[in-house]
Amino acid sequence: MLVRFTKCHGSGNDFPLVDARDWSLSDGEWASLARVLATRDGPVGGDGILALVVGDEAAAFGMRMFNSDGSEAETCLNGLRCVARAGFAAAGVETATVRLKTSHAQVEHVGDLAPGVYTVAETAGPVSLATADWPIIGAPERLIDAVVPGLSSQRAFTAIAIPNPHLVTFVDRIDEAELVAVGEACEAAPAWLPNRANVSFVERRGDTTLFVRTFERGVGLTNSCGSAMAASTYAACLTGRVEFGREITVLNRGGLVRARAEVDAMVTLNGNATWEWDGEVEVDLASERAGEVTVLRRYDDEVAAWRAVTEEARPTAPA
């Protein structure tokens, strides 16, 4: 099949995005397509693949997101902003409800985060603290700043689903080797955590800034994870590190978002949806092989605008 796509990113979380509103792929075929296009040594590369799909009675359009290993995520907030941009253009709107795998989210095209940076506000939630929903076997009903039963780490984590599952811990300084070790333990789907989890180490930098580093389920160590930034913001408010209702800056290796968590367990992120280039490629799903990619268009101005944002944020990010 000939696949046309836009290579895009939200806060450095990069994806090929396809308009699949008239597609009819099976879940297995979607998984194959994700493994072909999103693998880092493949023709395109990314943290996963995004699909603009049809909505429902409550939503103007929908989104599906498959990780680079072929597994489907409940949501991806960095990816949602990119799908929202495509959906706005397709539907001729500037605000919408979006159908996700297990929930809905609100999105709106808002004023630029920085000059030349297309910006979307997205509101997701409500956050769930019920460990039975993951499930986390052997855990109490809620885990808030507590050691996780079954995990070898003695760090205190907060368990949050938004709706995909996150374990968030606050540290003085991020140790990536430790983060990878904890992330890989969760990625292995042990008996006590059958559906795996995203793991984030978070530095609090004053009253209005967090820095988040995430080992993402189905991806690994990533420059950015939107739902992790939302979960970390809510965890910071829940544990008294940040005030509910206050907008903060959340930094990551890919850039930044503005975030706000409310007492009603809803979280809003304002962040970029940046187009990098359009392309097309012939894909054989049965063999999971792809031909040569043809680049159809480049968005150099958008790439440069986001580069300016990351260069401004870089001095505050650890090496």
Residue pLDDT, tens place only, 53-72: 999 999 999 999 999 899 99
**Confidence band for 74, pLDDT divided at 50, 70 and 90:** confident
Which of the following is catalytic: 8, 186, 225, 237?
225
Using CA atoms, how far residue 56 sits from 62, 65, 76, in Å, is 8, 17, 19
pLDDT digits over 286-295, tens only? 999 999 999 9
What pairing do the DSSP bridges indicate for beta strands 274-284 and 267-272?
unpaired
pLDDT of residue 75: 85
- pLDDT score, position 318: 52
Residue 173: how many other CB atoms lie within 10 Å: 8
- Please report, for residues 48, 103, 253, 292, the alpha-carbon distance to residue 124 in angstroms, rounded to integers and kept in the order given: 20, 9, 22, 38
Q: How close are the terminal C-alpha atoms of the chain, in Å?
A: 42
Per-residue confidence (pLDDT) for residue 316, from 0 to 100: 55
Which of 138-152, 167-181, 209-223, 304-318 has the weakest average pLDDT?
304-318
Mean pLDDT value of segment 5-20: 96
Q: Is 76 a catalytic residue?
A: yes
CA 208 – CA 301 distance, rounded (Å): 30
- When the pLDDT of each residue in the chain is averaged and rounded to a whole number, the result is 94
pLDDT at 265 over 80: yes
Which member of 8, 76, 82, 186 is catalytic?
76
Q: What's this model's pTM, rounded to 2 decimal places?
A: 0.87
* 102 has pLDDT over 80: yes
User: Residue 28 and residue 152: Cα distance in Å, rounded?
Assistant: 34
Active site residue 186: no
Residue 240 has pLDDT above 50, yes or no: yes
Instruction: Decide which of 50 and 219 is more confident.
Output: 50
CA distance 310 to 303: 11
Q: What is the pLDDT of residues 104-129, one digit of tens each?
A: 999 999 998 889 999 999 998 999 99
What is the DSSP secondary structure assignment for residue 128, as one 8-state letter?
B
| Distance separating alpha carbons of residues 12 and 306, to the nearest angstrom | 9
Q: Where in the chain are the domains? A: 2-105+275-316, 131-271
Q: 131-271, which class in CATH?
A: alpha beta
Whether 2-105+275-316 and 131-271 share one fold: the answer is: yes
Ramachandran bin of 255, using left for φ above 0, alpha for ψ from -120 to 50, beta for the remaining angles: left
Determine the average pLDDT of the residues in 130-134. Answer: 94
CATH for 2-105+275-316, options being 2.40.50.100, 3.10.310.10, 3.40.640.10, 3.40.250.10: 3.10.310.10
